[in-house]
Amino acid sequence: MTVHGNKASAASSLCQSCGLCCTGFACEVVIVKPEGDEAYADRFANGLVLASDGQHRFLELPCPAFDGNCTMYEQRPSDCRSYQCDLLEKVLGGALSRDKADQVISEVQGRLRELATEYNAGRSDPLSEQETYAALQSDHLCAREKGLEQRFWQQNPKYLGLVFLREKYFVA
Ligand code: SF4
Ligand code: SF4
């Protein structure tokens, strides 16, 4: 196997145990190219939004193809194939061990579960983990726009911890 092949295999192995970009935690959108991404574009045509260049389209994450794993891995868009979060880049570049990356991913996954459990306590319409994180992201933006970010952080310490982990490990 070539060095390139080894890296591709390492990335594939890490990403298939993670999925945190697919859930909208580590990434916000999937870009869908006019050519080459037809399988995805056809399957999710209703969710796609035309980009300002008038050619590409994008879909806001979480991705509807994610069901614990990518349900169309062999046909995923080229953006998914090429995307590397900071964590993955560091593992591939040797700056972070695979064990440490696994620990970080597992910690984030556990905290997302805890966040959803806390958020949904007593709700008649519980949200999924990814919907919970997205709802809090939206609340956070609203609070920031109203100048109430400090109070929002005080009221949502679990979400704050996840934002910290996201910025420390996933977003360069
Ligand atoms: S968040 Fe990073 S490690 Fe996880 S699936 Fe996405 S690119 Fe891979
Ligand atoms: S198509 Fe697959 S790899 Fe791409 S965002 Fe959706 S679930 Fe993730």
Query: pLDDT tier at 1 (50, 70, 90 boundaries)?
Result: very low
Closest-CA residue, ligand 1 atom 8, reads 15
CA 10 to chain centre: 19
Question: Is position 65 within any domain?
Answer: no
| Distance of CA 164 from the midpoint of ligand 2 (Å) | 24
Tell me: pLDDT of 171 over 80. Answer: yes
Range of the domain at 145: 85-172
Query: How many domains does the chain contain in total?
Result: 1
pLDDT for position 5: 67
Establish whether residue 59 lines the binding site of ligand 2, counting it when its CB lies within 6 angstroms of any ligand atom. Answer: no
What would the pLDDT profile of 68-119 be if each residue is shown by its tens digit? Answer: 889 999 999 999 999 999 999 999 999 999 999 999 999 999 999 999 999 9
Q: Which atom of ligand 1 is nearest to the CA of 19?
A: 5
Establish whether residue 15 lines the binding site of ligand 2, counting it when its CB lies within 6 angstroms of any ligand atom. Answer: no
| Distance of CA 73 from the midpoint of ligand 2 (Å) | 7
As a whole number of angstroms, the distance between CA 129 and CA 131 comes to: 6
Q: Is 97 exposed, middle or buried (0-12, 13-18, 19+ CB in 10 A)?
A: exposed
Question: Is position 93 within any domain?
Answer: yes
Query: pLDDT tier at 12 (50, 70, 90 boundaries)?
Result: confident
Question: Is position 96 within any domain?
Answer: yes
